[in-house]
Amino acid sequence: MIKPAREYVIATRKSPLAMAQTHLAKELFQRGMPDAVFRIEKMVTTGDKRQEWSLEKQGGKGLFTKELEDALLEGRADFAVHSAKDLPSEMPKGLALAGFLPRQTCEDVLILRDGVESPKLIATGSPRRRIQLRYLFPKAEFTEIRGNVDTRLTKIARGDADATVLASAGLNRLGIESWEGVTFRKLTLDECVPAVGQAAVAIQCREEDVDTFRAHLDEETAIAVNLERSFLEELGGGCQVAFAVNYVGGRLRIYHKQCGKEVRDLPQEYVATHYEQIAAKLIEQLELKDA
């Protein structure tokens, strides 16, 4: 008698970017588990429903993850695919991070309306981006923007604002290299330090299933994002904290309004086993705990 294939249900948001990332995850696991069947279950999160909300005012915490996590806890899904930067620092009891897909380029991209060189009105709801962009454009004012990537590009092209900022990885995963009415300018990691986990796709599952999925995920990305998330956990913040940390190529970049920008060179081998201690020590040295 032929044994039926094991089916895994993947929980994900419905947005084009979420779906692109989910298909990447599905393809990766399908290669590693060729006898299994993977089924995608699309879900709508609170953050998707409430487009009128300001993420900064609402706090952002869990707005794009709770419904997916509920599906895991209730057994309606086996793993969830998230943008790592959307994941709160605290994990619901019974759930765990299995790991991450290979990370793409981490930089932000400044989206400028055609003809604009120095934007006067920049649309971004991210405190992290706002505070760093003020160094590049000290006379600029800021406004909120919501919506999918194509919606945001269209808003800038039609003149709702002079500019916005999007993650390079998201544009790449959607296959967007240009857009009518706007120009793209990639910001360096030193011009705008990325958010914790930016460009990484996270796989979340029930605690007892971690080993099933972790074996197929990317160790180098896990080392980097574990270090970045350790800072967020120490500071007790979510994705709407005006704080940025990025570890790539052996270099740790930190931005915080208290200390400005800090750079440390740290070997990956050391980070892999000491990421929690590194975060705690630097937060103490830079006096960020009560900032």
Summarised one tens digit per residue, pLDDT across range 75-120 is 999 999 999 998 888 889 999 999 999 999 999 999 999 999 999 9
Q: Which residue has the tokens 């986990």?
A: 197
Domain match, 120 and 226 both = no
Structure tokens that stand for 113 in this block: 């309306």
Distances (CA, A) of 15 to 12, 47, 132, 147, 201: 9, 11, 27, 9, 14
Domain match, 19 and 73 both = yes
Query: Hey, what long-range contacts does 256-262 have (CB within 8 A, 24 or more apart)?
Result: 256/286, 256/288, 256/291, 257/131, 257/291, 258/286, 258/287, 258/288, 258/291, 259/286, 259/287, 259/288, 259/291, 261/190, 261/193, 262/286
Please give the residue range of the domain that contains residue 26: 7-104+196-285
Domain match, 93 and 17 both = yes
118 vs 51, more confident: 118
Last residue of a domain, one of 128, 158, 186: 186
**Cα angle value 273/208/198 (rounded, 5°):** 50
pLDDT at position 46 is 78
Summarised one tens digit per residue, pLDDT across range 201-248 is 999 999 999 999 999 999 999 999 999 999 988 887 654 567 899 999
pLDDT at position 239 is 47
Domain match, 96 and 113 both = no
Residue 52 lies in a domain: yes
Domain match, 273 and 228 both = yes
Residue 290 lies in a domain: no
Domain match, 73 and 120 both = no
Summarised one tens digit per residue, pLDDT across range 9-34 is 999 999 999 999 999 999 999 999 99
Tell me what percent of the residues of the chain surpass a pLDDT of 90.
79
In whole numbers, what is the pLDDT of the chain averaged over residues? 91
Domain match, 280 and 210 both = yes
200-222: burial string, b at 16+ Cβ within 10 Å, e else: bbbbbbbeebbebbbebbbeebb
pLDDT at position 167 is 97
Asked if residue 59 lies in contact with residue 3, where contact means CB atoms within 8 angstroms, the answer is: no
| CATH number for 178 | 3.40.190.10
Domain match, 160 and 212 both = no
pLDDT at 129 over 70: yes
Structure tokens that stand for 56 in this block: 């900064």
Rounded to whole angstroms, the Cα distance separating 8 from 38 reads 5
Residue 2 lies in a domain: no
Quick check: is 211 catalytic?
no
Residue 72 host element (H or E): helix 66-73
Confidence bin at 50 (pLDDT 50/70/90): low
Domain match, 131 and 262 both = no
Confidence bin at 160 (pLDDT 50/70/90): very high
One of 35, 48, 70, 86 is an active-site residue; which one?
86
Residue 33 lies in a domain: yes
Rounded to whole angstroms, the Cα distance separating 118 from 228 reads 31
Provide the whole-model pTM.
Answer: 0.90
Domain match, 74 and 114 both = no
pLDDT at 49 over 90: no
pLDDT at position 245 is 96
The number of domains in the chain is 2
Domain match, 222 and 115 both = no
Domain match, 125 and 166 both = yes
Last residue of a domain, one of 167, 186, 205: 186
